[in-house]
A = this chain, B = another copy of it.
Amino acid sequence: MSNTQGFSRRQFVSSAISAAAISCLPNGRDLFTGTTAPKSGTREIAQQSSVVLTITPSWRDQGILNVTKSPYAKLRNVPVHAVTIGNGFWAQRREINVHKSIPSMGKLLEANGRVDNFRRLIGKSTAAQRGPVYSDSDVYKWTEAVAFALQSGERPELRTAADKIVKDIVAAQQPNGYLNTYYVGDHASQRMEPKAQQWGHELYNMGHFLQSATAYYRATGDRTLLDAGIHFVNDFLLPNFGPGPDKKPLFSGHPEMELALVELYRMTGDKRQLDLAGYLLRGDSRIHVQPRDYVYHFCGTPFTSRTHLEGHAVRAMYACCGATDYYLETGDPAYWKTLNVLWKDLVSSQMYVTGGVGARSDGEAFGDPYELPNARAYGESCAAIGNMMWNWRMLAATGEARFADLLERALYNGINSGMSLDGTLYCYRNPLAFDPSGGDKIRNEWYDTTCCPPNLERTLASLPGYFYSTSGDGIYLHLFDNSELDWHLENGVGLKVRQKTNYPWDGSVEISLAPAEPTEFTFFLRIPGWTDNAEVGVNGKALAGATPGQYLPIRRRWSAADVIRVQFNMTPQFLEANPQVVENNGRVAVQRGPLVYCLEQIDQPEGVTLKDVALNLGAKSSAQFQEEFHKDLLGGIILLRHAGAAYGESAEHNSLYFRYSAEPRKSRPVSLTFIPYYAWANRTATPMQVWTPISRA
């Protein structure tokens, strides 16, 4: 796990500045963003420190995670701007994201008073506070989405609107560094009190503030937000809270600050910030909550004492992110052990086939092992995003493809389903079966708790940053789409990589490499776990050893115009679930490439209802699908057709219970039509299901 590659070691050690070298420069803060004193005149402009950032590389070249110096990171991020995604699957989604989703969400945050919440504090608005206690975070996540779009150079005009909001946000910060639009006025006395720490989301909000500040800085070089975040951490949190008798204890409440603190540490080198993350991950025994709340909040007890996933799914996923970030810096083996135990729990008993997590609406929580109901699935968009974020960190720690497989599964399915194809409606829940007759409206423009929409937006905006990683050995390719990488190896040699593909509709990918000079390095080509066969050739010559679920290391002296061609078998597959997932007994899911498919009622023959269909598999285990590309359907998809049976209504089956009969139910043959799960609920309200019964016949 240690980083022993000579070149990178040398490169990074040279720029490492010890924590002791951090200097605080009073009054040195760049105030160009125009922080104004509150109208009341009773508050002074904050006396805050402008911290020297010990950053390698410069702001422009930092990835989603800046793990360039992280001693326990095996892989390093490439910056978002280094990858340009060309026309194809993700370009379509991402274009809608920056042209529709981000602008419309910005308007909704305004219309629902979320930005006025800040303006009220600086005398620019007289509107009352609106929204739940965690509303600040939604503005921050939206700002982060803009920042990632700017990192890609997309729609620079978004900066104008965001800069205005940024100004108002930092102006609302208290002189002592505290920033929150709810715990002011009548609520100020509750600030950081035990109950507010548990339920008030103060640290959660500021964790998102820091993430937003980090992304904004990396997009623009503008330190306005980042300095305000450092002010909060260094001047408000660190002197007043933490272990030791002279400080008040902290309870994370909703994990998020942990991962943000570690990322801050990666820029400042200020080990106090890393230590504070570790402290939050350990919990402080001076704060007592109900035993059930340690479960729900997924914090407050030592992270390393956790044995399984439980409680609020987003909290748990963000805690796992923070713990992995902490591990990447410290290498603490207890963390590594726990992270692997929890990851095994995730994939062996707690995750939907879509990569979604969180079975229960009640507490937005993980259920018991194998409790994975379909229609009742919670599968919050934020939790699937948390799953992706966690696996990105585990991948950085190991370079193991199982983490990339999971990241891809969540991204293409349980996350991608969360935003409508037109980019204006969002899922909070992402169930695996749905019946609109229950009155539930699954896609909505706005939620009073609007955590998911901007989370989806920042994820899509940051996507280029997930395509590649570098290591001391060379470069890893994780995600497939038409794209161009323009970056360099860790030894500094420039490298361009171009992918040409129709992925995920087609399993063939042409990868052209162009190092600035012929260089020996390893190209780690991900062979997805979902395929049963991958044929790989380099410059027309077949290459053996491609193993699904592993990276194929191709080490050679690479030159410009070298081409890797890979063909993944994408034949649709039927998946079974562990028999302990009781709702899926006797049912199968359909997957083609990285995409999980589903049935929507609207696509089935007249008179066929989803509750009365089954798949005719006969004695064959392999799926016999007809594939059809429909350019104009749901943004362009391959739909799948398969022989099935439709049961007629019978008096018996209108009963709730009836005597068992060995006779198969009477049925007629029908052709069943499957669409990708991510595209569901984009037409009319219609029943949907991912898991389809197998016909007994």
- Give chain A's interface residues, CB within 8 Å of chain B: 347-349, 351, 353, 360-362, 367-368, 370-371, 373-376, 433, 435, 438, 573-583, 585-589, 611-612, 617-621, 647, 653-663, 693
Q: Say whether B582 contacts A374, CB under 8 Å.
A: yes
Distance (whole angstroms) from the CB of A438 to the closest CB of chain B: 5
B-side contacts of A657, CB under 8 Å: 353, 575-578, 589
Distance (whole angstroms) from the CB of A661 to the closest CB of chain B: 5
The residue from B362, B370, B573, B647 contacting A659, defined by CB atoms under 8 A apart? B573
Given A362-B361, A587-B585, CB of A578 within 8 Å of CB of B660 = no
B-side contacts of A659, CB under 8 Å: 573-576, 621
Q: Say whether A348 contacts B693, CB under 8 Å.
A: no
Q: Say whether A653 contacts B578, CB under 8 Å.
A: yes
Q: Say whether A586 contacts B585, CB under 8 Å.
A: yes
Highest count of chain B CB atoms <10 Å: which of A435, A578, A647, A660 = A660
Known: A368-B438, A374-B582. 11 other contacts (CB 8 A): A348-B655, A371-B376, A373-B373, A573-B660, A575-B657, A579-B612, A580-B611, A585-B586, A589-B657, A617-B662, A619-B662
Distance (whole angstroms) from the CB of A375 to the closest CB of chain B: 7
Distance (whole angstroms) from the CB of A625 to the closest CB of chain B: 13
Q: Offer 24 A-B interface pairs, CB within 8 angstroms, sorted by A.
A: A349-B656, A353-B657, A362-B362, A368-B435, A370-B656, A371-B375, A375-B582, A574-B660, A575-B657, A576-B657, A576-B659, A576-B660, A577-B657, A578-B655, A578-B657, A579-B653, A579-B693, A585-B586, A585-B693, A588-B660, A621-B659, A621-B660, A621-B661, A621-B662
Q: Say whether B663 contacts A621, CB under 8 Å.
A: yes
Kindly list the 5 A-B residue pairs having the minimum CB-CB distance in the complex, ordered from nearest: A362-B362, A574-B660, A586-B586, A621-B662, A582-B583
User: Chain copies in the assembly?
Assistant: 2
Distance (whole angstroms) from the CB of A3 to the closest CB of chain B: 33
How far does the alpha carbon of A573 sit from the alpha carbon of B433 in the complex, in Å?
A: 31
How far does the alpha carbon of A656 sit from the alpha carbon of B581 in the complex, in Å?
A: 8
B-side contacts of A581, CB under 8 Å: 656
How far does the alpha carbon of A591 sit from the alpha carbon of B580 in the complex, in Å?
A: 23
B-side contacts of A582, CB under 8 Å: 373-375, 433, 583
How far does the alpha carbon of A686 sit from the alpha carbon of B604 in the complex, in Å?
A: 44
How far does the alpha carbon of A347 sit from the alpha carbon of B656 in the complex, in Å?
A: 7
Distance (whole angstroms) from the CB of A135 to the closest CB of chain B: 21
B-side contacts of A374, CB under 8 Å: 582
B-side contacts of A588, CB under 8 Å: 660
B-side contacts of A585, CB under 8 Å: 583, 585-587, 693
Distance (whole angstroms) from the CB of A577 to the closest CB of chain B: 6
B-side contacts of A660, CB under 8 Å: 573-576, 588, 617, 621
How far does the alpha carbon of A586 sit from the alpha carbon of B691 in the complex, in Å?
A: 14
How far does the alpha carbon of A558 sit from the alpha carbon of B598 in the complex, in Å?
A: 66
How far does the alpha carbon of A589 sit from the alpha carbon of B661 in the complex, in Å?
A: 13
Highest count of chain B CB atoms <10 Å: which of A349, A360, A589, A659 = A659
How far does the alpha carbon of A435 sit from the alpha carbon of B368 in the complex, in Å?
A: 10
How far does the alpha carbon of A434 sit from the alpha carbon of B72 in the complex, in Å?
A: 43
B-side contacts of A360, CB under 8 Å: 362
B-side contacts of A348, CB under 8 Å: 654-656
How far does the alpha carbon of A656 sit from the alpha carbon of B349 in the complex, in Å?
A: 6
B-side contacts of A587, CB under 8 Å: 585
Q: Say whether B583 contacts A583, CB under 8 Å.
A: yes
How far does the alpha carbon of A654 sit from the alpha carbon of B348 in the complex, in Å?
A: 7
B-side contacts of A661, CB under 8 Å: 576, 621
Q: For A611, give the chain B residue with the smallest CB separation.
A: B580
B-side contacts of A586, CB under 8 Å: 585-586
Q: Say whether B619 contacts A575, CB under 8 Å.
A: no
B-side contacts of A371, CB under 8 Å: 375-376
Highest count of chain B CB atoms <10 Å: which of A348, A367, A582 = A582
How far does the alpha carbon of A361 sit from the alpha carbon of B367 in the complex, in Å?
A: 12
How far does the alpha carbon of A612 sit from the alpha carbon of B580 in the complex, in Å?
A: 9
B-side contacts of A580, CB under 8 Å: 611
Highest count of chain B CB atoms <10 Å: which of A578, A588, A647 = A578
Distance (whole angstroms) from the CB of A365 to the closest CB of chain B: 10
Q: For A439, give the chain B residue with the smallest CB separation.
A: B368
Q: For A618, give the chain B residue with the smallest CB separation.
A: B662
Distance (whole angstroms) from the CB of A652 to the closest CB of chain B: 9
Q: For A368, give the chain B residue with the smallest CB separation.
A: B438
How far does the alpha carbon of A576 sit from the alpha carbon of B662 in the complex, in Å?
A: 11
How far does the alpha carbon of A647 sit from the alpha carbon of B575 in the complex, in Å?
A: 19
Q: For A437, give the chain B residue with the smallest CB separation.
A: B369
How far does the alpha carbon of A576 sit from the alpha carbon of B661 in the complex, in Å?
A: 8
How far does the alpha carbon of A576 sit from the alpha carbon of B647 in the complex, in Å?
A: 16
B-side contacts of A612, CB under 8 Å: 579
Q: Say whether A576 contacts B658, CB under 8 Å.
A: yes
B-side contacts of A621, CB under 8 Å: 659-663
Q: Say whether B368 contacts A658, CB under 8 Å.
A: no
How far does the alpha carbon of A45 sit from the alpha carbon of B547 in the complex, in Å?
A: 88
How far does the alpha carbon of A658 sit from the alpha carbon of B577 in the complex, in Å?
A: 6
How far does the alpha carbon of A433 sit from the alpha carbon of B368 in the complex, in Å?
A: 13
Distance (whole angstroms) from the CB of A7 to the closest CB of chain B: 40
